[in-house]
Amino acid sequence: MKILKKYKLEDFLFIDIETVHGDNSFSEESPMYDAWRYDKVKGDNENITNEELIELYYKEAPLYSEYGKIVCITIGMAISGEIRIKSFYGDDEKVLLTEFNELLDTFVTSRTWLCGHAVTQFDAPWIMRRCLVNDLEPNMLFDVAHLKPWEVQYMDTQTLWKSTSWRPTSLIALATSLGIPSPKDDISGKDVGRVYYEGGLDRIVTYCEKDVKTVISIVKKLRFEKEEVEPEKVGVLTYLFEGGKYTEEVRAELLQVLKPLNKTETKKAFEILNTLPTKAKNKETDITKKDIQELSDFITNNK
């Protein structure tokens, strides 16, 4: 996508938040009960019972910034080509928001673009509102109510993928369709409140970080960047057999492999080593018969 390639990856601040219902003992005595009843007892819910209304709170309050709270914010940044991930989490929402804002104040500039999935409709307004609820001044990335739509620097993967379509797409659907592993392999959004109040905040942090990493992978994919795959480490004998260079480091690794072997195993190992100086599968290595004899003498004298 041209819009994504217009900016450097370092210009993006990738973000995701996890929210839960704010009151785990919600009842008619709760401060927000009357507001919740006013908002929900209408239309199809006009005849809802009190028990159903309370149950609805536990189910839907995490969707509304007035009734829920943030328990985790994860950000991702590209610094010198390396992706850094950091999470702010805990039971005290004001503390995590304060720490989050303090960090953002050190590096967010007019060039920074906030990037996430549904970040425009969910994450960004949630952070702005919860900052205000906690008497905190939001960072300029979130204090955007006075800006025109085209002045808001949000790069929303849901909006980008939606294009001119009418239908939004979930993060899991978008990731899977692009061949990116699903981040929902443990819990999903509907589980966050329950897991949090069961003491599973660490699971929520992991889940939030996976979402950010998934968004980063999606952006790289849409920028037509190849994900760097860490090469599979092979054994030293396989490395030499496949044409690897015989260096001091390789010699040291070979000795580490050979020293613990018994007499029979050592004999078999050197039988393999002695095949290396010859061509194998049209590949050559620069290890010589002399090198192998030196290894054999060293092992024999140090057993």
- End residue of a domain, out of 222, 247, 282: 222
Instruction: Verify that 269 and 154 share a domain, yes or no.
Output: no
CB 180 within 8 A of CB 214: yes
**Would you state the pLDDT for residue 280?**
47
Instruction: Verify that 214 and 97 share a domain, yes or no.
Output: yes
**Would you state the pLDDT for residue 284?**
58
CB 188 within 8 A of CB 178: no
- End residue of a domain, out of 172, 198, 222: 222
Task: Give how far Cα 36 sits from Cα of 60, 67, 131, 132, Å.
Answer: 10, 8, 21, 20
Q: How far is residue 287's CA from residue 158's CA, in Å, rounded to a whole number? A: 54
Instruction: Verify that 294 and 194 share a domain, yes or no.
Output: no
- End residue of a domain, out of 187, 222, 257: 222
Instruction: Verify that 145 and 15 share a domain, yes or no.
Output: yes
3-state secondary structure of 300: helix
Q: How far is residue 127's CA from residue 69's CA, in Å, rounded to a whole number? A: 10
Indicate whether 176 belongs to any domain: yes
**What are the φ and ψ backbone dihedral angles of 229, each rounded to 5 degrees?**
-105, 125
**What are the φ and ψ backbone dihedral angles of 88, each rounded to 5 degrees?**
-115, 125
Indicate whether 37 belongs to any domain: no
Instruction: Verify that 189 and 284 share a domain, yes or no.
Output: no
Total count of domains within the chain: 2
Indicate whether 196 belongs to any domain: yes
Instruction: Verify that 131 and 166 share a domain, yes or no.
Output: yes
**Would you state the pLDDT for residue 51?**
94
Kindly report the pTM of this predicted structure: 0.73
**Would you state the pLDDT for residue 233?**
53
Task: Provide the 10 A C-beta neighbour count for residue 298.
Answer: 15
**Would you state the pLDDT for residue 228?**
57
What are the residue ranges in the chain where pLDDT is below 50?
A: 230-231, 280-281
Strands of the chain (E only): list them. 12-21, 68-79, 82-89, 113-116, 154-156
pLDDT in tens, 269-282: 787 778 777 654 45
Instruction: Verify that 133 and 206 share a domain, yes or no.
Output: yes
Instruction: Verify that 205 and 74 share a domain, yes or no.
Output: yes
Take residue 163 and report the two structure tokens written for it: 């294009």
**Would you state the pLDDT for residue 303?**
63
**Would you state the pLDDT for residue 281?**
46
pLDDT in tens, 62-120: 999 999 999 999 999 998 788 999 999 999 999 999 999 999 999 899 999 999 999 99
Instruction: Verify that 242 and 193 share a domain, yes or no.
Output: no
**Would you state the pLDDT for residue 113?**
96
Task: Give how far Cα 248 sits from Cα of 148, 251, 255, Å.
Answer: 62, 5, 11
Q: Which range of residues forms the domain containing residue 141?
A: 2-22+67-222
Instruction: Verify that 244 and 281 share a domain, yes or no.
Output: yes
**Would you state the pLDDT for residue 296?**
86
Could you tell me how far CA 131 lies from the centroid of its own chain? 24
Name the amino acid, one letter, at 69.
K
Domain CATH number, residue 130:
3.30.420.10
Indicate whether 51 belongs to any domain: no
Q: How far is residue 97's CA from residue 130's CA, in Å, rounded to a whole number? A: 8
Instruction: Verify that 97 and 169 share a domain, yes or no.
Output: yes
Instruction: Verify that 265 and 290 share a domain, yes or no.
Output: yes
Indicate whether 43 belongs to any domain: no
Strands of 12-148 (E only): list them. 12-21, 68-79, 82-89, 113-116
Indicate whether 60 belongs to any domain: no
283: DSSP letter? B
Indicate whether 79 belongs to any domain: yes
**Would you state the pLDDT for residue 279?**
53
